[in-house]
Amino acid sequence: MKWHQTLAVLAMILGLTTACNYNRPDEPAPQSGQDLIEKLKPTHTVAQLKALYPGSPLTIAEDVIVSATMASDDTEGNLYRTCYIQDETGGLELKLSLGNLSTIYPQGSKIYLRTRGMTLGRYADHINLGYRSLDPKYETAFFPEKLVPEVLFFVKSGSIEPRSLSISGVSPQYAGTLVRIEGVQFLESELNQTYAAPDDRKSQGYVNRTLVDRTGKTIIVRTSSYAKFAGRKLPQGSGSITAILSYFRDTPQLLLLRESDAKMSAARF
């Protein structure tokens, strides 16, 4: 092929390439996670989000965005595919099909929750947030693992201070939040028991133990038999316990996140 023919072919190829790209807009550069976080603007508090629940399951169609703190920690296994967030107005359980949540969203970290596509529902008379459920026994299911990064955003590391309460001060207004119950000990009848039943997980997935205060008031400590500390014996002394306060209907229960959060080295009363 002569040189002038070669130039003609190259010109034709260049023309075709130009034609293919004609009127095609440049593809936007991918946004970093931080870029997206900076564009999110909180619209609701936790309490306002829960108030959207109409009495039956609601899948949120708009960008309802909440700024909150991660209240829970799943590193010791007493929570699985569940976490709790809180702000100054209250706490909320999130049902997420993602294990080891605390490696991405550590306790105390600041998060944004973008709830579009998530479903508000009720279980045992208390509102939670997850995914639409096909099972009529439950109003919510676990939100798909691959979609979790689209709704829950880590903003920055931080810390969280539990609310200090007595058993008599426990109230549904603190449900889903981190609390510290002062002046308690496990019942004497339970002292040689373990937190849960790791050798009998199939029949005893969760085990309830009971704390008592000086006035005789009691509260349940509920532990998964899959928790890392499930087979450890209950502490013998008195003191405090830091845990997530949850409710089953009218019954308050404490979800101990780490064995070390039960600080009961003082003498029994």
29, burial (CB in 10 Å: exposed 0-12, middle 13-18, buried 19+): exposed
Average pLDDT on 140-166 reads 98
Element of type H or E holding 46: helix 46-50
Q: Where are the domains of the chain?
A: 33-156, 163-266
CA distance 131 to 24: 38
Mean pLDDT taken over the chain: 91
Is residue 213 within 8 Å of 186, Cβ to Cβ? no
Token pair for residue 203? 């029949």
pLDDT at 183 over 90: yes
CA dihedral 186, 187, 189, 194 (to 10 degrees): -20
- Provide the sign of the torsion angle of the four alpha carbons 223, 228, 234, 239, taken in this order: negative
- Tokens, residue 119: 């479903």
Tokens at 76, concatenated: 């010791």
What would the mean pLDDT of 22-48 be, rounded to a whole number? Answer: 70
Percent of the chain with pLDDT over 90: 86
Residue with the bigger pLDDT between 32 and 216: it is 216
Interval 228-250: pLDDT, tens: 999 999 999 999 999 999 999 99
Q: Specify the DSSP element, H or E, that contains 259.
A: none
| Banded pLDDT at 216 (limits 50, 70, 90) | very high
Architecture of the domain defined by 33-156: Beta Barrel (2.40)
Query: Residue 37: its pLDDT value, please?
Result: 85
Mean pLDDT along residues 34-61 = 93
Q: Region 67-80: what's the mean pLDDT?
A: 98
The CATH superfamily of 163-266 is Nucleic acid-binding proteins (2.40.50.140)
Q: Do domains 33-156 and 163-266 have the same CATH topology?
A: yes
Q: How many other CB atoms sit within 10 Å of the CB of residue 139?
A: 20
Using one digit for the tens of pLDDT, what is the confidence trace for 85-94? 999 999 999 9
